[in-house]
Amino acid sequence: MRYFEAAKAAGEEDLVEPSDKGVDKNYLALLEHQKTARFNANTVSDLRSLCDLLQDFPMRAVVFGGREAWTLASELGRAGVSMVLTPRNKSWADPDLNRDSGWSIENAAKLWEHGVEFALVPGQTYISTGGIAGRDLLTLPMEAAFAIRGGLSEEAALRSITIDAARILGVGERIGSIEPGKDADLIVTDYELFDYRSFVQWAVVNGRQVYDKQTAPYFAHIRPRPEPEAVVAAVIAAIENADEIGKDSAADDENDATEHSDSPDAPVDSPK
């Protein structure tokens, strides 16, 4: 079909369009960019083979894994692939290879630098009954925080777990950002999102509150949320304290100016 299209574009005549009889419709949909192909690839050799394939047969492709993608980020960027990464999915370099290999904390940052769109996912995407100790460090924001430690900007990290992830999944028109007409799926945290101390205080799904930390049996006792009246009182106290500090600072500046003008070394205006 590609040769036919090229010959047709070149103006050749008496061409017979190839028949698609016996050709899997799914393959045609991939080549016509109507569907997205999913690949699993972690090693340099697999990723490079994928780039070669996409050069010969351009299609929308999402790569899961990408552990050694940092070693050929520019090639992946030119191939136009999207990726799904787990930054803490480690594999040590092979000492027998005469090239870069293995895992790198800079993987996500290097891919971002070369224009590769990606989503970040944690190593575990399920809830286990094996205990909760340490599971606060296995969450999606902490996976993104690890990528930030490797050089990825906070803005890029946020995109990788929101709008970019939604686009890769093909649902970017519904979720992934706060816009009129989209599903109202939101969380409210008490610290910065990528701070390991952060707790989700409220979760909203499709416009309805489905979670409140104060009523959660495991977490309600950890840093209990102040009552609204206490929050308002704390804010007012902080404002009043800031005003007092401002007044004291202004008074100190005025005293300094007075002392300076009374000093024998202070400059005196010359008579006109």
CB atoms within 10 A of CB 267: 8
Task: Fill in the amino acid letter for 232.
Answer: V
pLDDT digit string, tens, across residues 1-38: 666 677 777 777 777 776 667 677 887 788 888 899 99
How large is the average pLDDT for residues 233-240?
72
**255: pLDDT strictly greater than 90:** no
Average pLDDT, the chain: 83
Tokens of 57: 């047969």
Quote the pLDDT of residue 272.
Answer: 42
Tokens of 90: 């480690």
Residue of 175, 40, 62 whose CA lies nearest to 117: 62
pLDDT band of residue 270 (cuts 50, 70, 90) is very low
Cα–Cα distance, 10 to 136 (Å, whole number): 60
**51: pLDDT strictly greater than 90:** yes
Return the exposure string of 6-31: e unless at least 16 CB atoms fall within 10 Å of the residue's CB, then b.
eeeeeeeeeeeeeeeeeeeeeeeebe
Quote the pLDDT of residue 13.
Answer: 74
CA atoms 19, 22, 26, 31: torsion sign: negative
Q: Please give the domain boundaries of the chain with CATH numbers for all domains.
A: 1-33 (no CATH), 35-178 (3.20.20.140), 184-243 (no CATH)
pLDDT digit string, tens, across residues 70-106: 999 999 999 999 999 999 888 888 888 888 889 999 9
CB atoms within 10 A of CB 74: 13
Cα–Cα distance, 185 to 175 (Å, whole number): 7
